[in-house]
């Protein structure tokens, strides 16, 4: 496994873990700079593993799946998790990794700020078609009705790193994306 080629994501995770250890006082800024340079130059997973072999593993918590997260359909949700890296780097990761998954499912990114992402989708509810069939003449006005669903992702820097809170109304697939990130 140590001879496997490292990806850019592997290098970024290694640097984020090194930054976490520097924030905890295990590495000096000079050591962090030197190890970060080596991480970005690393070609294999073994080279990356050497950079934090003398440091404890960054603690991770198992994913907890809530009953509401597993329920099909459009449901309200709130997910909270922490990132060991700063708010700016966390926001960049959210935009690069999470935003495309939400947008693939029809949501539009309508607000992008330093501390918030907001997604929105407009959907025609299923009851509209029943009204069209049952009340043909006036029912066609129901076709104009659309519901708006939003997801908000807030990012706040804390003494433990960065706290991320995602909330809104979304289908199971999107709630699952956020549930996998929870701590």
**Within-domain flag for 60:** no
State yes or no: pLDDT of 161 exceeds 70. yes
- CA 95, CA 81: separation in Å to the nearest integer? 16
**Within-domain flag for 146:** yes
Are 76 and 36 found together in one domain?
Answer: no
| Cα distances (Å, whole numbers) of residue 152 to 18, 54, 97, 103, 128 | 29, 39, 16, 13, 27
Evaluate if pTM is beyond 0.75.
no
Give the residue numbers spanning the domain of 12: 8-51
Residues constituting the chain: 183
The band of 144, judged by pLDDT with boundaries at 50, 70 and 90, is: confident
Alpha helical stretches, state H, 94-161: 99-104, 127-134, 136-139
pLDDT single digits (tens) 80-111: 998 888 888 888 889 888 999 999 999 999 99
Element containing residue 92 per DSSP (H, E): helix 87-93
Are 78 and 35 found together in one domain?
Answer: no
Q: Give the residue among 25, 24, 52 at the shortest CA–CA distance from 36.
A: 52
Are 39 and 103 found together in one domain?
Answer: no
**Within-domain flag for 1:** no
Are 39 and 96 found together in one domain?
Answer: no
The band of 61, judged by pLDDT with boundaries at 50, 70 and 90, is: very low
Q: Per-residue DSSP letters for 9-53?
A: HHHHHHHHHHHHHHHTTSS-HHHHHHHHHHHHH--BHHHHHHHTT
CATH number of the domain residue 164 falls in: 3.30.310
State yes or no: pLDDT of 68 exceeds 60. no
Are 45 and 96 found together in one domain?
Answer: no
Are 36 and 102 found together in one domain?
Answer: no
Q: Give the residue among 116, 121, 126 at the shortest CA–CA distance from 105.
A: 121
Are 76 and 153 found together in one domain?
Answer: yes
Look at residue 67 in the predicted model and tell me its pLDDT.
Answer: 46
Number of domains, the chain: 2
């Amino acid at each position: 496994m140590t001879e496997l080629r490292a990806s850019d994501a592997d290098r970024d995770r290694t640097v984020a873990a090194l930054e976490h250890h520097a924030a905890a006082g295990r590495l000096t800024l000079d050591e962090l700079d030197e190890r970060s340079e080596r991480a970005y130059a690393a070609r294999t997973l073994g080279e990356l593993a050497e950079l934090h072999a003398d440091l404890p593993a960054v603690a991770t918590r198992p994913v907890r799946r809530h009953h509401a997260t597993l329920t099909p359909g459009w449901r309200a949700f709130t997910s909270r998790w922490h990132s060991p890296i700063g708010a700016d780097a966390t926001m960049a990761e959210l935009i690069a990794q999470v935003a495309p998954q939400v947008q693939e499912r029809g949501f539009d990114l309508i607000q992008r700020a330093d501390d918030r992402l907001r997604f929105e989708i407009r959907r025609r509810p299923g009851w509209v078609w029943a009204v069209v069939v049952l009340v043909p003449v006036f029912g066609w006005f129901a076709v104009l009705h659309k519901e708006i669903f939003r997801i908000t992702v807030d990012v706040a820097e804390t003494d433990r790193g960065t706290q991320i809170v995602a909330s809104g109304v979304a289908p199971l697939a999107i709630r699952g994306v956020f549930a996998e990130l929870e701590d």
